[in-house]
């Protein structure tokens, strides 16, 4: 089994990061995190 780990410095807040989609249902911690939340929702809607 292959397990992929993302180094912690590639994550920010609750929604920003490579291969990290956040904490569904939780509020973003700041405006940058809110942008990442909106981006994640857009990507999910387009797939």
* Nearest one of 28, 31, 8 to 20, comparing CA atoms: 8
Host domain of residue 24 = 8-46
Q: Could you read off the pLDDT of 1-47 as tens digits, one per residue?
A: 666 665 656 888 999 988 777 788 899 999 999 999 999 899 889 87
- The three-state (H, E, C) secondary structure of the chain, written as one string: CCCCCCCHHHEECCCEECCCCCCCCCCCCCHHHHHHHHHHHHHHHHC
- Do the domain assignments include residue 33? yes
Query: How many structural domains are present in the chain?
Result: 1
Q: How far apart are the first and last CA of the chain?
A: 26
Assigned token pair, 42: 């857009």
Residues annotated as part of the active site: 39
Report the predicted TM-score, pTM, of the whole model to 2 decimal places. Answer: 0.71
- Do the domain assignments include residue 22? yes
């Amino acid at each position: 089994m292959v397990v992929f780990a993302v180094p912690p410095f590639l994550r920010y807040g609750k929604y920003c990061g490579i291969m990290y989609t956040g904490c569904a249902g939780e509020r973003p911690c700041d405006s940058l995190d809110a942008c990442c939340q909106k981006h994640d929702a857009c990507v999910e809607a387009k797939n």
